[in-house]
Structure 1
Amino acid sequence: MEIDENSNPSIQLVSVSTPNNPTAQPQNQSSLKTAVVSDDDLNKKQDEDEYLDSFPPGYRFRPTDDELIRFYLEKKILNQPLPPNRFVETNIYLHNPEWLAD
């Protein structure tokens, strides 16, 4: 912390690093964009959360190969809406493998 001429405290940030990962994770320009969320999107997200939270504890997602292809992969390829899920989509080539599990 430094003190300027007017005796007002100011903070100067020199560098940031995480204790476990001394190098910064590279960022793509697309990852820096701000998402705009409408009220409809927010309501849809809340409905999906309520649906997914309605499953009992211990519920396992174990689709057959046929179900996975018909209900997820085919729709994904055709850019159709997917059923409610908690899959997180990321470009694995933009991240260090140690950080992907976070």
Structure 2
Amino acid sequence: MENNNIILHSVTPHELKELLRGMIKEEFNTMNEEVQRVIGEDDLVSTGTACRLLGVCSKVLLHLVREGHFTVFHHMKEKRYIRAELLTFRNQQRISKQSRR
């Protein structure tokens, strides 16, 4: 068993603050990844929702589909897209745009 005891008289307030910040940040990142995985897993969305998630119009979405960025499913004459693919693409585009600045 891991010993996580903190002896406060040997830790400065700044060290304690940094230790707690690191522990909270690590836990938050773990929870955030799990939430994103659950939200995106096997969740199919309509064309309108896909456009809103990406922040593009339907013509741009069609162009991205033709380029092979997304998997398209047909359900009752409507197209459906995998939310996880859309979010991953959107996040990658945001990162590349920020790194260009």
TM class by shorter-chain length?
under 0.3
Give 1 or 2: higher helix fraction.
2
Higher relative contact order (CA 8 A, sep 6+): 2
- TM-score relative to the length of structure 1: 0.24
Give 1 or 2: higher strand fraction.
2
